[in-house]
Amino acid sequence: MSQIPPQRGPNASYTPAQIRRNRLIFLGVVLVIAGLVAFVVVGPHDTKDQSATLKAGDCFQNIGTDKAAKAKKLACTDPHADYKVLKMDKDGVVDTFSCSDVPGTSGSLTEMGAGGSFVVCFKENDEKGKK
């Protein structure tokens, strides 16, 4: 009787080192894809609203919308710093009352929530883009 040689599986030609390397490559690709998905879902971290930290003299850019403003505090000479804070009213609720006595006001940002309410009175930034 003759013996039948053992059948070779699909990975019979790979050495243990090659199998380990291929698994690490696969794991790396999976981690990169997971990181990209997480970045898309969570988004960039610089989109946090800094409205509550503004004070008179600060400059900011609206990174939100006109209806849902989000302030990003910037140096007044930054080319993206569109507005300059004239007054921060931590007890303010209605922008027309808080900003009516502030000369030069061209707009306001009102925030009301569980953490309290405030009104930011601002104007166009004259120092924008100047060094």
Tens digits of per-residue pLDDT, 5-29?
766 666 567 889 999 999 999 999 9
Residues above pLDDT 70, as percent of the chain = 86
Chain centroid offset of residue 43 CA:
6
The pairing of beta strand 59-62 with beta strand 116-124? unpaired
Q: What does the pLDDT read at residue 82? A: 92
pLDDT tens digits for range 33-59: 988 888 777 765 555 788 888 999 999
Mention every residue, 6+ apart, whose C-beta is less than 8 A from residue 77: 127, 128, 129, 130, 131
Tell me what pLDDT residue 67 has. Answer: 83
Backbone angles phi, psi at 53, to 5 degrees: -95, -5
Burial of 88 (0-12, 13-18, 19+ CB in 10 A): buried
Res 92: pLDDT = 77
Q: What is the mean pLDDT of residues 64-76?
A: 87
